[in-house]
Structure 1
Amino acid sequence: TVSEKVALTVVKETGAGVVLRGSRLLATLGPISDELAIYHAGNHRMDEEAQRQSFALSIPCDTPGLRFLCRESFDVGRSHFNHPLGSRFEEMDATIFFDDVLVPWDRVFLLGNVDMCNRIGSATQSQGHSGHQVLTRCLVKAEFILGLADLMVETLGSGTVPHVQEQVAELITQRDILKACLRASEADASPNQWGVMSPATAPLQAGRAQFGRSMYPRMVEIIQLLGTSSLMALPSEADFDAPFSPQLNQYLATDTSNARDRTKLFHLAWDASCSSFSGRQVLYERMFGGNPLRNAMTLFNTYDKEPFRKQVRNFLDSED
């Protein structure tokens, strides 16, 4: 089938190791990494027929037969002033092609066991530990967006406008929700079977799901709404050394900021909300944890809802 020709598959086992053929998404920073860890992400369940796609292994990035197809870079050597985020934090994404790649046996950790592949994240608590790191990153991004928004409001002098206050308050609420989820995962942490303290996964999953599905896209939208026309036709860093720079200094200054500082701030707002870098950030947050619909289906099918059904039954059975 087409899927068998595309999906990363063990096509042969030899005395030296296993041979892989197919493709894999998404290798963020893969082209500049030393090694690749390849395993089932756990955001969907593989069926019993997927034995040849069931494995966990690691290989060096210069392994023969390995190819990286990179997207267009969002950093073309531009200045920190003009593109403060893209010039610093570009993360190259790539599709990996495996053309009969030999993986030595000492690099194969799991092979052919569908059940173990499906449970590898939950059984080892790796989902909880990685989820804690992810939600920490989400919280930091939320706090950065909140700080950026408030500086924009201060610079434009729009802090008394009701809808501006409402939008910044929304950012504050989103930040506090993420902080609460992170704290809950730590407060409800417990030792696993090997004695390793592991964060509670439920609040981490809740925070991660809402951040990618609705929070971060909305944060970016709020930056656009707060910036309005101030985000358009921004002067470049070089323009402030041009003959017409006196006009820039005269017409772009505000009561709380000179023209250069205002422009520098709004270049940051542009890079966080309107540039190709920001578009990739929104898409990444939406999808890097897996298909949101599939994740929701997994949550529906695995979450213990019986205690809540019992509450309702008890209420219905009560005659008080």
Structure 2
Amino acid sequence: MAAVAPPAFPAPLDEPLKPLPAVPTLDPQRVELGRRLFNEPRLSLDNSLSCASCHRLDQGGADAQAKSQGIKGQLSQVNTPSVFNAALNFRQFWDGRVETLQAQIDNVVQSPTEMGNNWPNLLRTLNDDASYRQAFGALYPDAITAANVQDALASYERTLLSAGSRFDQYLQGNTEILSQEEKYGYQRFKDYGCIACHQGVNIGGNMFQKFGVMNDYFADRGNPTDADLGRFLITGDEQDRNVFKVPSLRNVAVTAPYFHDGSATTLEQAVEVMFKYQLGRTPNPQDTRLIVKFLQTLTGQWQGKPL
């Protein structure tokens, strides 16, 4: 019998954006421990909040709120970014103050407006739980430490990659999966220069940019806050005033509201703000509509289901 040729797959497209990588191969027990910790409300001082409280995996890895509620009902200063694909960002937090997932976890645990905890107390809490003692003891020679809690959580978060978006399938060569209007939207996304900042495998998350390059967003919005200063709060450098990490656009259609202040409630509003304040252009409604159609193709999958 003649050999049956394998099915022919389309060749990947040569585009400036690339599909998400595969989920890394990590110790499954460490990942599972991280998953358990991610959903553990005892990470917060009053046992009221887990990582999953604000990073809802059933809501695109965010929480659909302009500002999230932390310990004792305190509101966060900025909008909660999605945890999906966060491992691919070059820095963490809107102001980019840390470079690693471990450092991000350290900040959140000890933040007085988020978890409100401290490491000595949290480590005592986990040590009081025999199942955590057993799990950490089996995986780490020094058992329950702050570094090991951070490592386990970061291991789990590295698996939260939302591959399989229709746009990724398009990049992989399935050019029929996008409609003509979605392709037009992608072309306008490139033509207008959106791709200059929303670039790389995460379609953002790999550079800093001033919010309000062409017009003063904050003067027009009014009611300035310290959080609006962005990187300036970290560096004290005047050039970093109103500068933020460019957010990833992956899953953007399911992670409203938008921007560090959560001020845009729809993708259409967000695109129009970008046209005015980053590009200095008056948006054409047709261009806005088409770019939104493209952005809606960036929604990936988690556990085999669309987000």
Q: What TM-score does the superposition give when structure 1 sets the normalisation length?
A: 0.25
> Larger relative CO (CA 8 A, sep 6+): 1 or 2?
2
More helix by share: 1
Structure number with higher strand proportion: 1
